[in-house]
Copies of this chain bind each other. A is one copy, B any other.
Amino acid sequence: MNIKQVAKKARVSTATVSRIINGSSAVRPKTAQRVRQAIRALNYYPNTHARTLVSGRSRILGLIISDISNPFFPELVKGFEDVALQNNYEVILTNTNYDSTRMASCVQRMLERKAEGVAIMTSEMNRQLIEELSRRGVPIVFLDVGSVRNRISNICVDYAQGIHEAVDHLCALGHRRIGFISGPLSLKSARTRRSSFLECLKQYDLAKEDTLIVEGNHKIDGGELAMYRLLQLKRAPTAVLTSNDLTAFGALRAIHHARLRVPEDISIVGFDDIELSQFTQPPLTTIRLPRTELGRIAFDALFRILRGDSQKGAAYRIETHLVVRSSTSAAYLLPGSQDLESAAVRRGS
């Protein structure tokens, strides 16, 4: 079951067997055939640990995410793993659970298993550990927070673009009061999304009232609560953007409970385009963030460095685009009658 037995059976040295396995240098076709037969006959496959030990290359890549049960991540993971597998890399997947202590142990495990590169798709970072990785020469790719300066490759998601498209779309439908339900502001990604939205409001010269921006938690219940708060405003928004789709689901629920209608009374726009968004009632207009591609790019970023095709600290960009479904429509209320309760009454509900 080891290379020696194969060598013996094929009447060659272990070096020759190794050469066949790795294609590292030429061997006579006749010898090669004999070796290959022996390998098949013994059902031999090399011991990766021995390989790693001597060659210094583990063919392992690390992927650190927040939480696999967050619907944002599975597709990203699949994208990453698919290409990694195609290139004969094994993936070690770890969850930080949004906890920077656990993040530390994630990185430590990468280090121990000798990952050749690490993709960190979450923002609980720990300077010390990152530097430890850098010092050991392990290439890193980050989501949104890398930079050339620290030699960490960065994948920059262009949130602004999708948000622009959404606001554009809503404006074209006649909306002027647009609300926003953010994620938990402790999260970097949530903050970025919110500030992109604020930026956008400015550009479109739209009302920017603090009351129209409410903090959620990137989960359904938080979206629901936040939406209730928006509905209680004297002058409620006629359209609401949300920081992720789960938040939008919650908003949908709140509006339904308030006996109002989407999109007739209020338009809702989600973010991420998780699979379930096609199946809400009504199907959700949302900003698509191509997560499979994100995973692919993360692998690519690492792979290029490993092959020497690219420097550490390269920058990549991912676009986001609006997907229009049925949760948005023309602003139904006239400027003078922005009272949602009366709308409900008018409809006789």
Contacts and interface: CB of A to CB of B under 8 A. Distances in A.
Interface in A24-68: 43, 45-50, 52-53, 58, 68
Contact of A74 (B58, B74, B250, B253): B74
A92 B281 CA distance: 38
Contacts of A58: 49
A111 B45 CA distance: 9
A339 interface: no
Contacts of A281: 253, 256, 281
B279 A276 contact: no
A51 to B, nearest CB: 8
Interface in A63-77: 68-69, 71, 74-75, 77
Contacts of A77: 68
A264 interface: no
A100 interface: no
Nearest to A274: B69
A95 interface: yes
A67 to B, nearest CB: 8
B45 A249 contact: no
Contacts of A109: 90
A288 interface: no
A78 interface: yes
A53 B45 contact: no
Given A112-B45, A112-B48, A279 B250 contact: yes
Contacts of A49: 48-50, 52-53, 58, 114
Nearest to A71: B71
Contacts of A85: 105
A92 B95 contact: no
Interface string A274-302: 01101101000000000000000000000
Interface of A is mostly: helix
A81 interface: yes
A169 interface: no
Nearest to A1: B136
Given A49-B58, A92-B92, A279-B249, A75 B69 contact: yes
Contacts of A112: 45-48
A74 B78 contact: no
Contacts of A163: none
A78 B93 contact: no
A132 B278 CA distance: 43
B114 A48 contact: yes
B48 A50 contact: no
A191 interface: no
Contacts of A74: 68-69, 74
Contacts of A278: 220
23 contacts: A43-B132, A46-B112, A47-B53, A47-B112, A48-B113, A48-B114, A49-B49, A49-B50, A49-B53, A49-B58, A49-B114, A50-B53, A68-B74, A69-B74, A69-B78, A81-B95, A93-B93, A249-B279, A250-B279, A253-B279, A256-B281, A276-B276, A281-B281
Interface of A: 43, 45-50, 52-53, 58, 68-69, 71, 74-75, 77-78, 81, 85, 90, 92-93, 95, 105, 108-109, 111-114, 132, 220, 249-250, 253, 256, 275-276, 278-279, 281
